[in-house]
Structure 1
Amino acid sequence: MKENGILASALIHRMAIEPLGDGLEDEAYIQRARMIVLVLLGGLILPDGSGCKIPLMWLTQLRDVEAASMISWASAALATLYHNLCEASMGKRSDIGGPTVLLQLWVWERMPTLRPDFVAARIHTNNTPCALMWTGSYMINRAPKHSVRHYREQLSLLQNNQFIWMPYVDRQLPDSCLDMNNSWRSVTYIVCWAIVEAHEPERVVRQFGGTPFIPELRDWGFNETHFKTNRRGKAKTNWAVQNKAYIQYWERRSKFVTNAYMEPLADHMQVMRTRQYMEWYFKITITYITQPGRLPEVGMNTVASASTVQVSLSTHQPSWHL
């Protein structure tokens, strides 16, 4: 135990030294199932910033193993990732929680300049998780580690033709990933205990083959303190009651599925709407993250200097999409 949590290493060690045999009581297998789920939750799907501690709150979700299979763990993981990315970008954080492996896979799928070179060719087996494609050995000279400078430079100089907008078109995906009425197209809330985030698929229409448009600004009912909400000092809070309205909205998510932005458009309409979107986009954001004028470092990860970014912005601005 450590600070109201269970050490993941202790659970893994316990399972390693006590393998299960046949002919045991059912409770022994149920206990082992709970241990495996806890390791997955605390180490992969919903880890906290510590990287080693599994909050005890997950035990309450595993009293009934069958009921646990009905929980939308995927939406909870996405809500947690959004929340932690938001916190990491706005505060002085030295760590980050949430399923950051999803972020890494998202980057590798869409930004070839940021992924390592693998020893063997990447092949996706039909109807298997896309993440399995990225297992294997990679070349050490093309896999920079712990190099924030390298990745900042690559992101700052990213061109439109270096980003893969629809990364799964050449793969055989399950029907659940292609259903036009599925919940991943729903404009709704996603909830994980104290965390509540908005799910707006209309902001990423290009990955579905749609034409980008200026998104509608919705009032989600969040006040200025909403995203600072956490579980610290609230051990007795019943979050199912606290977030009842958001959960009920999620349970009706099939009513809020929208396909309006996927309508086919004539070529000239696509060009016009894309141009309008980019004009709006450049007014609300910046397209580089390195300090302008800084010279590149000498070494394996040397890339074009960030000082060229300002020139690139003025000459190639219509092609910059981040």
Structure 2
Amino acid sequence: MCRAADYEVSTAGGCLILLQIWAWERLPMVRPREVLPLDQLGDLPYAARWSCPHRWPTVTKHVIRAYRDQFDRVKAKNFKFTPYDIESLPDYCRAGTLIWRARVSLVFFYVIEYQYPERFCRQFNYLQDIPPFVEYSLKMHAIDGRSGKNVDWGEKHAIHIERWEDRHNLDNLVVAMAPNQQSGITTRYQVWFYRYGRRVIGNPAHESHEGYVESASSVHEMVNTLRDIFLTSRDALQGGRMCPARALKHIFDAAQAQLTRSDYEYVLDMPNEAYHGRAGAGDIVQARRRDGRREREHLRGGPARGGRRMREINAAIQAGANNAEAEPGRAGDSGDGHIQYHNWI
């Protein structure tokens, strides 16, 4: 993945199906529908539940701009963390659990990768803190299957192989981790990640005038402005270094600049009545036609339109109307004695 992540590279090798399944399991915003239930897998591998016909009613396919925009809007609560459930694993998967948290070199022929368990404590259901410095060698990552055909890799990588052979020296290699809390991360890790992590992939300067319109970068920019407004107002209210008049001017300038950058400059001089959609005196307003797609309740968890379930609901309402007088305010009653049928369209 080191080479595949280069923007100038258009191909990738390795077990990409495993990477795709990993993404589907943990990123609900890109996964398809119609996954086989776990109780129907039997003795098949866990990933086999994705080997079935898929539907994509709510997920964009084959549009990289849309995927980037989705990832830029992902919050911690949207990512499905799946720590190892040791007790549910078969015996052959639990072999070597003592060295799972060992800081060792992983060796595969000419490929050397170091494992740093401190960087994924939550995978072991432990509390995540700021990880230590990582040993990174550009020369090591430049090695691939196209280089060094006559190289004795056992000799060249002797120091890394020796470290792997010493993996059972638990006192020196196994990383100590703190028990997990409800949040899963420490406060200082959250601050560290926000400061040094790459939270936005898209670039707001690369605005496209056709196709999918990205919005995540604008949301991040607006959050920064709101945070600035919050801190400025709090400082003024608590009698801080900024006087109220200066704080108010700062807030005014920040809000005006943000609306201008977001192409909403036209709302600055718009009256409140017009902005909130209230008709003014003398305005000619045409009655809006009912939008059945927006009011379709089965999209929010209700029964789907038509079919046996819908007929049962309407029949139950009709039966209630025949057995008792309609009372104003009763469910299904319009208030004037007429029954309102649930007609999802």
TM bucket, shorter chain: 0.5 to 0.7
Q: Secondary structure at the match of 2:105?
A: strand
What is the CA deviation profile of residues 137-193 of structure 1, one whole-angstrom value per residue up to 9, with x for unaligned ones?
A: 111434544221121111110011111112665993224545683433221111222
Aligned length: 224
Residue by residue, what CA displacement relative to the aligned partner does 1:17-40 show, whole Å, maximum 9, x if unpaired? xxxxxxxxxxxxxxxxxxxxxxxx
* Greater RCO (CA < 8 Å, at least 6 residues apart): 1
The equivalent position to 2:166 in structure 1, one of 230, 252, 274, is 252
Deviation at 1:286, TM superposition (A): 1.9
> Is residue 292–residue 309 contact of structure 1 (8 Å, CA) maintained in 2?
no
* Higher alpha-carbon Rg: 2
CA distance in 1, matches of 2:226, 2:21: 31
Cα separation, 1, equivalents of 2:195 and 2:20: 28
Counterparts of residues 54-93 of structure 1 (less than 5 Å): 85-93=1-9
Would the aligned equivalents of 1:156 and 1:288 in 2 still touch at CA under 8 Å?
yes
Partner of 1:229: 143
> What's the counterpart of residue 308 of structure 1?
219
> Which stretch of the first structure deviates more once superposed, 155-164 or 272-281?
272-281
Q: Take 1:162 and 1:272, find their aligned partners in 2: how far apart are those partners?
A: 14
Specify the SS of the correspondent of 2:122.
helix
> Which of 146, 167, 188 is residue 104 of structure 2 equivalent to?
188
Letter in 1 for 2:165: E
Question: Relative to 1, partners in 2 of residues 1:252 and 1:130: Cα closer, same or farther, differing over 3 Å?
Answer: farther
- Residue 264 of structure 1: aligned partner: 179
Provide the C-alpha distance between the structure 1 equivalents of 2:58 and 2:143, rounded to a whole number of angstroms: 40
Question: What is the Cα deviation at residue 103 of structure 1?
Answer: 1.6
Q: Secondary structure at the match of 1:232?
A: coil
Offset of residue 115 of structure 1: 1.0
User: What is the DSSP-based 3-state SS (H/G/I as helix, E as strand, rest coil) of the residue aligned with 2:168?
Assistant: helix
Instruction: Provide the C-alpha distance between the structure 1 equivalents of 2:52 and 2:184, rounded to a whole number of angstroms.
Output: 43
1:214 aligned to 2:130?
yes
Q: Which amino acid aligns with 1:186?
A: A
The answer (yes or no) to whether the contact 2:127–2:186 under 8 Å persists in 1 is yes
- Which runs of no fewer than 5 residues in structure 1 stay unpaired? 1-84, 317-322
TM-score by length of structure 2 reads 0.55
Residue 152 (structure 2) aligns with: 238
Query: How much has 1:260 moved relative to structure 2?
Result: 1.4
CA distance in 2, matches of 1:136, 1:239: 42
CA distance in 2, matches of 1:158, 1:292: 17
Return the match for 1:161 from 69, 77, 97. 77
Q: How does 1:168-179 map to 2 (within 5 A)?
A: 169=85, 172-178=88-94
For 1:133 and 1:259, the matched residues in 2 are separated by 34
Alpha-carbon distance between aligned partners in 1 of 2:65 and 2:156, rounded to the nearest angstrom:
42
- Judge conservation of contact 1:124–1:130 (CA < 8 Å) in 2: no
- Once residues 215 and 93 of structure 1 are traced to their aligned partners in structure 2, the CA distance between those partners, rounded to angstroms, is 29
Which of 275, 279, 287 in structure 1 is aligned with 2:199? Answer: 287
More helix by share: 1
Structure-1 residue corresponding to 2:343: none
The answer to whether the Cα contact below 8 Å between 1:195 and 1:229 also exists between their aligned partners in 2 is yes
**CA RMSD in angstroms, aligned pairs only:** 3.4
Q: Distance in 1 between matches of 2:46 and 2:184?
A: 34
Structure 1 residue 113 corresponds to structure 2 residue 29:
yes
Q: Is the 8 A contact 2:99 2:167 kept in 1?
A: yes
Q: Is the 8 A contact 1:186 1:253 kept in 2?
A: yes
2:121 corresponds to which letter in structure 1? V
CA distance in 1 between counterparts of 2:226 and 2:121 reads 27
Which residue is equivalent to 1:82?
Answer: none
1:139 corresponds, among 43, 55, 67, to 55
What displacement does 1:198 show? 0.9
TM-score by length of 1: 0.59
* Distance 1:228-1:91 versus aligned 2 partners, 3 A rule: farther
Return 5+ residue gaps in structure 2 as ranges: 228-345
Q: 1:247 to 1:137 in 2, by over 3 A?
A: same
Q: Percent identity?
A: 27
Counterpart among 95, 104, 110 of residue 11 in structure 2? 95
